[in-house]
Amino acid sequence: MHLTKQEEHIYDGEFGWANQICIKTLVRLGELFNATRLIPISSAHVSGVSYKTLGDAPVDFLETLANTDVKVTVKATLNPQSLDEEHLCGKLPLNICQKQSGILKNFEKMGFTKSLTCTPYYLENPKKEAHLAWAESSAVVYANSVIGAWTNREGGLSALAAAIIGKTPDYGMHKVENREPKALVAMETQLQSEVEFGALGIFLGEIVEDKIPIMQGLQNASRDNLKQLGAALASTGMVNMFYHDGVNAKVNELEKISVDTKDIRRTIENMSTTSAQKPDLVFVGCPHCSLNEIKQIADLIGSRKVRDGMEFWVCTSRYIKEKAGKHVEKIEKSGGHVLTDTCAVVTWTDKLGIKTIMTNSAKTAHYAPTLNRAETIFAPLKECLNAVLKG
Ligand code: F3S
């Protein structure tokens, strides 16, 4: 890999141990994928912030790195942590809250923005064709497919190294030739809800693996629906983007896949692990809710109240919660909680006594049986609200 003079100095340790280890991480990664250079990035987004998913091993490394006083050199944001200080900290064991707060302090010491969201694009939308180093898979697909920015699916460590060096190896989704569609998806059904978009993502992810699909005839492709599609696609597949319109692909050369009503219905059915209709928790906001989604939830609640013995969580970022003032008030008046900084998947719902989770998110329904050891019910927003609200 060709390094500039400045990069060579960093590589040789002239800018300290922390910078050296970061650039060595990026160079090693680039060599694995035959990159010939590092390229500047506009932003980095780091995953592995939740103590639940991070575990103990990387905590010492993070602390050692932060203690060198190394700083990020580009805009750098953080994925959700394992708790919401207001609602969950007091309910989880004290040592968990302490560990999590230590992790966060170290990230902040290095200059990371305390965004704690998987939707960093709501805080600041990257420019089209901007090169990024993002690690949250749902955000990666959204950035590449909906925003038109360019990012690989980074690991937590490579995104952290990229945030500090301000560069990423030039391979994969940063190269125009790797952004060509490889599979043509003929939609023989019209998707109506966010749940159906999520199911399409789960269904396709298993088929396309790492081949970029281009959808033909996809209706109702709002940004919120595409967010569900992308998050689900990245859950079952390794693909980092999709096209949903407007590409002049040479369709004859593409692998053909057709999707009909039965495929979507079967996928939705398979994603519920129980036929029980009484969840302990109804969780909406995976990926974190947009302002529009919060408004929609508040409008649908009306004057109804949360049923006794059930929890209702709506997860979003601090930034969106602040903007959604009156809608948040309405949700909380119903007995629901608008949580920030976390989500049901990256916190310990099992330690809170939650055995069954109902959600409109295909990504959560996919991961909750293993990561939360919970039964799942996968259903559209309206059904979720009817289950958790009286009247
Ligand atoms: Fe975000 Fe948690 Fe879903 S981090 S994408 S809300 S699993």
Query: From first to last of its 391 residues, what are the pLDDT tens digits of the chain?
Result: 999 999 999 999 999 999 999 999 999 999 999 999 999 999 999 999 999 999 888 999 999 999 999 999 999 999 999 999 888 988 999 999 999 999 999 999 999 999 999 999 999 999 999 999 999 999 999 999 999 999 999 999 999 999 999 999 999 999 999 999 999 999 999 999 999 999 999 999 999 988 999 999 999 999 999 999 999 999 999 999 999 975 666 777 899 999 999 999 999 999 999 988 789 999 999 999 999 999 999 999 999 999 999 999 999 999 999 999 999 999 999 999 999 999 999 999 999 999 999 999 999 999 999 999 999 999 999 999 999 999 7
Q: How far is the CA of 90 from the centre of ligand 1 (A)?
A: 22
Is the CB of residue 116 below 6 angstroms from any atom belonging to ligand 1? no
- Contact of 123 with 85, CB cutoff 8 Å: no
Residue 140 is predicted with a pLDDT of 98
Ramachandran region of residue 183, left (φ > 0), alpha (ψ -120 to 50) or beta?
A: beta
Residue 248 is predicted with a pLDDT of 62
Q: Name the residue with tokens 């990423």.
A: 168
Q: How far is the CA of 339 from the centre of ligand 1 (A)?
A: 12
First to last CA, the chain: 64
Is the CB of residue 363 below 6 angstroms from any atom belonging to ligand 1? yes
- Contact of 122 with 293, CB cutoff 8 Å: no
Residue 196 is predicted with a pLDDT of 98
CA atoms within 13 A on the CB side of 7: 20
Ligand 1 atom nearest to CA at 80: 4
Residue 2 is predicted with a pLDDT of 97
Query: Which one, of 297, 284, 321, 329, lies nearest residue 123 by Cα?
Result: 321
Secondary structure letter of residue 376 according to DSSP = E
Ligand 1, atom 1: nearest CA belongs to which residue?
287
The encoded tokens of residue 104 equal: 């966060």
- Cα 378 to Cα 67, 277, 351: the distances in Å are 44, 10, 22
Residue 74 is predicted with a pLDDT of 98
Q: How far is the CA of 389 from the centre of ligand 1 (A)?
A: 24
- List the beta bridge partners of residue 216: 186
- Cα 207 to Cα 174, 252, 259: the distances in Å are 24, 19, 11
Ligand 1 atom nearest to CA at 50: 4
Question: Is 95 exposed, middle or buried (CB count within 10 Å of its CB: 0-12, 13-18, 19+)?
Answer: exposed
The pTM for the full model equals 0.97
